[in-house]
Structure 1
C-alpha cells in the first residue's frame, strides 16, 4: 500500500500559528532500543516522555512528522470525559478496570495542563474549563445524570441552569448544562511539537518520514521494520489510532479494522473584535453540546472562534459546509453578524462503534495487549486530547512491567468492524439520522 504522504490536507490555523517542529531524520539502518513506539502523536510522545523520565530507552518511528495526523488537526478542546458514556457505563463494560479508566479520565485534563506547565510548552494552553450545554429541555436530565455520576467519583463538575448557561456562553440557545473547570483548550499542533521537543531533550530518538511496514515478536524481542531500516526492542507501543492502516494496510490489520476513520472539519473565523468577543463565551471555556451532530466552539489566542461540523458532501475545501456553519454561528450568537472563515481544514477521527446498526451511539476506546510487553489503543471517538496524554503514561508503565490490574487500561481483544470498507464510505450518510435524533425530545 502506498503511504499517503502525498495527501494534500487543507492548511490549518494550527499550522499557520504553531512554532516550527523539530528537524528530524528518517530511519536508515537497524537500531536497538528498550521500547519502540509507532506514531509521534499525543499518545506516542507522552509514552516516550514518561519512559525517559524513568530512564528507559525509547525510539519513535513516525510515518510523517509529529502532529501530521489527528494530534495536529483537531479542535484542541481538552475534555475530561468520553463522548456519550458516563462512568457507570464504563464500569458495566469493564468492571474494576473501568473504574480505573474512569479515574484516568477524571484527572486527564488537569494532568495535561500540569504537564504543559511543568515543561513550559508553548501550546497556547487555556485552562478555562469545558462546558457541555444541552440543546433541548428534556436533555437537561443528561446533564443532571452526568453531574451526579462524575461528582460521585470526585470530578469537579457543576450543574448549570439555563440562566447560568446563557451567562457563561453569551447565548440563550441552550437549556442548561454542566461544566468542568479542569478542562479548556490548546493549540494541538503546538502541543504536539512541544511534546516532541520535550521528548528529544529527555533523550528520545524520533525518526520521521519512516512509515512502519511491519511489526513482529520473536525470541523475546519486537522488531518494527520500515522501508530503509528496523528497530528492535524489548517492548512496543502502537500509537496510530485513526491512521492505523493508512500507510501500510498489513501493519496491524485487526486493529486497523476496528476503527472507522471519519472525516471531521474544523473552521476558524476571521479575528473577532474584543468588544464582541467578550460577549461570546466570555470566560473562554471550551464548549461542545449534546447534539450528535456536535455544535462546538472555542477561542484561539488571536480571537478567532474555532468551530467545525460535518457534511454528507462537504465539497472541495469544505466549500459546501462554510455557509451552513456560518449560519449556525450567527444563530447561536447574533452579535457576530455575518461570519467568514480564514481557515477550513480536515482530518480523521477514530470511531469505534459497537453496533453499526446504531451509529448514533459513540464507541469506547479499545486497548489491547499485542503480545509480551506490546500494547496498543485506538478509538478516541472525538475525545483524544486529554485522554491520550494520560494513556501514554499508563502505557509507559505497562511496558515497564507495572501490573495491568493497577492501571487504567481495560484490555480487550481486537474486534474488526464488519463491512468496514463500506461503512467508511457511507459514514457521512448517517448525518441525516443524527439530525433527526437531535430534533427528537427525550
Structure 2
C-alpha cells in the first residue's frame, strides 16, 4: 500500500527505480532544463542524442508534478477535435499538428521499446465514452473527421461500448486504436534513465531560485550551486511558479483527482476486459482504468478530499455502484490529485520568454504524448532548428483573464460535484 510520502499509486508501484541526485557545485552546459517531467526529460534525451550537453534541474523528485500523478491514458491528438485544431491554427499548421500528435502514442511506444522502459504499457486503445445523446453527437463528429484522415478510430454502438467497458451506463463510445495506457511514473522515470544514459546530467531536489540573463546565456541559481547555460527550457507546465514573472498566470490550474481500489482480481474480469482506459464526455469529466494488478482507478476534476473514507472515496464508491451494480462493495487503497494547465482555447503554447529561453505549456490534460513530442521539438530547435518549424507558433506570454476567479470557481464547482454525486 502506498505510504504517506508517496505522490500517487504510480509512485509506489512503478517498476522503474526512483532517481535522486542533488546538485553539488557549479555546472556549465549547453542547455539547462527546469523540470523533471515528460517535457523536460524528453528535451534532455533528444538534445543529448543530438550531441548537446544538458542539465536537468528538478525541484523535488522525477515526476513530482503531473507526470507522476496523471491517469496514464496515452492518447492521440489534443483535447479538441482535429477540425477545431485546424480552424484555430490555420489549415496547414493545424493539419501538421494533428498529424504529428496523432502519431504521438506510436512515438512514445517506440521510445518505451527502444529504451526498455518498464511502465505496464498496454496497446489496446482508449475509449471516449458518451455520457448522453449529446455526448454521442460530439463523438460522431470526431469519428467522422478521424475517419476522413484515415486514423484507426471507430465509433462504438451502445452495446459494443457496454461489452468493452462492462457497463450499460454509456450511449456509445469512440475507440482509438492508436492509444493505450501505462504507469505514468514508470514512463517518466524511464525517460530519466534514458536521458542519463545518453549523457544528460539530472539533478533532483534542486529548486531554481533565480534565473539571470548573462552575456552569451543564462545563470541559474540553486541552493547547492549554479548552472551556466547557453539556452534554457522551462518545462514546469502546470507547476510553474514565480521563477519567470507572469508565466504561472498564463493558464488556469485545474486539479484532477483519482481513487484506486485494492486489487480486485477475478471480481472485475468483465470490467474493461481488454484494459482500455476511458474518459467521458461530461462537462465535469471522469476517468476509469484498470491497472496491471487489477485495481480500478476512477477519477474526476477536482482535488482528492478527505483521505480514507472521505468525500472522494464516497464519490468513487457511488460512481462504481452506478457503473457496475453487480460489483458490490470495494475497499480503496489510496487517492491523490495533480494539476493540469488549461488554456482558454484548449491549445498548448510555446513561449519565447527571452533570447535562448523557451517554455512549452498548456497541454490541457494531454501531457504524456504531447509532452514527449514538444520536448523533442525543443531539442530540435536547440540543435539548430528554426522557430518556424516548431509545432506551434512561438508567442509571448499573455495573462489568462480573471485567472484566480476562474481557478477558485472551478475548484468550488468540482467539490460541490463530488458532494452531490456521493449522495
Normalized against structure 1, the TM-score is what? 0.88
Superposition deviation, residue 59 in structure 1: 0.7
Match of 2:87 among 88, 92, 96: 92
CA contact (8 A) 1:147 1:157 kept: yes
Query: Partner residue of 1:244?
Result: 240
Unaligned 5+ runs, structure 2: 419-423
1:205 corresponds to 2:201: yes
Contact preservation (8 Å) 1:35, 1:56 = yes
- SS of 1:257's equivalent in the other structure is helix
Q: Which moved more, 1:46-55 or 1:224-233?
A: 224-233
Match of 1:273 among 254, 262, 265: 265
**Per-residue Cα deviation, 1:358-394 (whole angstroms, up to 9, x for no partner):** xxxxx22122122333321111221111211111111
Is contact 1:268–1:343 with CA below 8 Å preserved after alignment?
yes
Corresponding position of 1:417 = 400
The one-character-per-residue Cα deviations of 1:298-326 (angstroms, maximum 9, x if unpaired) are: 11110001111245893356811111221
Alignment of 1:189-268 (within 5 A): 189-245=185-241, 249=242, 251-268=243-260
Say which of 99, 108, 116 aligns to 1:103: 99
The answer (yes or no) to whether the contact 1:10–1:346 under 8 Å persists in 2 is no
Partner of 2:363: 380
Paired residue for 1:405? 388
Secondary structure of the structure 2 residue equivalent to 1:405: helix
User: What secondary structure, in the 3-state scheme, does the structure 2 residue paired with 1:390 have?
Assistant: helix
List alignment gaps of at least 5 residues for structure 1. 1-7, 355-362, 436-442
Change (3 A) 1:326 1:407: same
- After TM superposition, give the deviation of residue 180 of structure 1 in Å: 0.8
Superposed CA offset, 1:311-369 (max 9, x none): 58933568111112211112112232112211111222222235xxxxxxxx2212212
8 Å contact from structure 2 (residues 70, 338) kept in 1: yes
SS in 1 for 2:94: helix
> Which residue number in structure 1 is paired with residue 421 of structure 2?
none
Q: Deviations over 1:138-169 (max 9, x none)?
A: 32221111112223334221121212211211
* Superposed displacement of residue 412, structure 1: 2.5
**Out of 19, 23, 26, which is 1:27 matched to?**
23
Change (3 A) 1:320 1:140: same
Which residue of the partner structure matches residue 357 of structure 1? none
Does residue 56 of structure 1 match 2:52?
Answer: yes
Q: Select the residue among 121, 125, 130 that pairs with 1:125.
A: 121
What is the CA distance between 1:410 and its match in structure 2?
3.0
Partner in structure 2 of residue 170 of structure 1: 166
Q: Distance in 2 between matches of 1:222 and 1:213?
A: 13
The whole-number CA distance in structure 2 between the counterparts of 1:100 and 1:201 is 31
Q: 8 Å contact 2:307–2:335 — kept in the other structure?
A: no
> Which of 409, 414, 417 does residue 431 from structure 1 map onto?
414
Counterpart pick for 1:37 among 14, 33, 41: 33
User: What's the secondary structure of 1:330's corresponding residue?
Assistant: helix
| CA-based RMSD | 2.3
Instruction: Determine if contact 1:288/1:297 at 8 Å carries over to the other structure.
Output: yes
Instruction: State the 1:189 CA deviation.
Output: 1.0
Of residues 8, 13, 23 in structure 1, which corresponds to 2:9? 13
Aligned counterparts, 1:349-364, within 5 A:
349-354=340-345, 363-364=346-347
CA distance in 2, matches of 1:20, 1:107: 25
Name the count of aligned residue pairs: 415
- The CA distance in 2 between the partners of 1:94 and 1:336, in whole Å, is 45
Matched, 1:285 2:276: yes
